[in-house]
Amino acid sequence: MPLEITTRVIKMDELQPCDSKIGMTVVHLPYAPIYQEGYGRMDASTPVLGLATSYVAVCVCVVFHCATTGRTVLTHSPPMMDSMKKNFVPIVDWVIGGDGETHWSDSDLENWLSGKGAKKAGATVDIVVLRGFRYESPQHPTWPLLNRWMSDFRLFLSSAVSSRALIVASCLDAPEVLKCASVLVDKATARITYLKLESGSPFSLITIKNPHLVKQYSEAQQEQDRLVGVTLLQRIPPENVNLHLQYNVVSHGGAIPLPDEIRQLLRFMPASPGGQSLLAQRIRPFVERSIRAGRPCELCGDIGHLKCSSCKGAWYCGKEHQLKDWTSHKVWCKSHKLASSN
């Protein structure tokens, strides 16, 4: 039986203060948020109602659910991916009962796809593909990317079915796009909920936040992860990216790596938009929003009150984490040292 898909109407009194520059309205819900280029895992032990994601414009969300293991994964996948097998083998393997390893070598991936160690009985998986709101019209310029993504994804599933004795109980390309750019997925049942704004709202798009998770996933880290995701999607030409595990069953995991160009923008903002690249101008509202939220610590994601005095491009919650991160940071720091620091 295919996964249940429902719709929830968000009423006006549920809305939080919004960001008019981005055109998003905020709703607080007891779900764990993930963002672009991220995915989350959950099972019966997950301490929230489920997973949620927002800003689904040109991305594709995929829900994987195995009723036997009770495990579910929600991905926020870009239409440009480095490799289907590199991104989805670890996800499918965990859903059907694997140990959760996220870093697979090329030989491990090939062994998995060749069927080594597969159980004879196989596992049954339900899959639903959800498209971002930009795909409501086939005229959108990213439609060719979506078509290629869907074709590659089907080829990957075909390989998984034949090599792992995987049983795909249902694989649905949901006909309706995510018009509000957000979706909820419940734990245990993997029920999918589209969100719809009550008539009269000044905005049509929703972003989901859970204030109860701020201690493990700070507002600063959330906004930075969102900024990274938006930036990767705005690059011209599009760049292939890989998914990062953002929520691992009971808590948020590591941050999405901060690209060099974003670190540079965060060092020098606010600056005149006229002197910036086209990409910098396009993502400026998200950069400003991230700056307002504060910089997350490079190691733990808490507010980074301490800035590297040499390059002004790394932030820490305290001296202990700054010293601990020096081995990783020193190469970038020495090559980006500000003249005023000499």
What pLDDT sits at residue 9?
Answer: 93
What pLDDT sits at residue 121?
Answer: 65
pLDDT tier at 165, thresholds 50, 70, 90: confident
Q: Which residue reads 């991905």 in tokens?
A: 75
| Interval 220-271: pLDDT, tens | 888 888 888 888 777 756 667 789 999 999 998 777 788 888 888 888 765 5
The average pLDDT across 107-113 equals: 92
Residue 159 has pLDDT above 70, yes or no: yes
pLDDT tier at 341, thresholds 50, 70, 90: very low
What pLDDT sits at residue 239?
Answer: 66
The average pLDDT across 30-41 equals: 93
pTM of the model: 0.88
pLDDT tier at 291, thresholds 50, 70, 90: confident
Taking the C-alpha atoms of residue 264 and residue 68, their distance in angstroms, rounded to an integer, is 47
Which range among 139-153, 278-292, 308-322 has the greatest average pLDDT? 308-322
Helices 219-234 and 260-268, packing angle to 10 deg: 120
Taking the C-alpha atoms of residue 77 and residue 178, their distance in angstroms, rounded to an integer, is 14
Taking the C-alpha atoms of residue 154 and residue 157, their distance in angstroms, rounded to an integer, is 5
Taking the C-alpha atoms of residue 157 and residue 149, their distance in angstroms, rounded to an integer, is 12
Residue 275 has pLDDT above 70, yes or no: no
Residue 90 has pLDDT above 80, yes or no: yes
| Interval 3-16: pLDDT, tens | 999 999 998 888 88
Kindly report the number of other CB atoms within 10 A of residue 37's CB atom. Answer: 24
Map residue 160 onto helix, strand or coil: helix
What pLDDT sits at residue 138?
Answer: 84
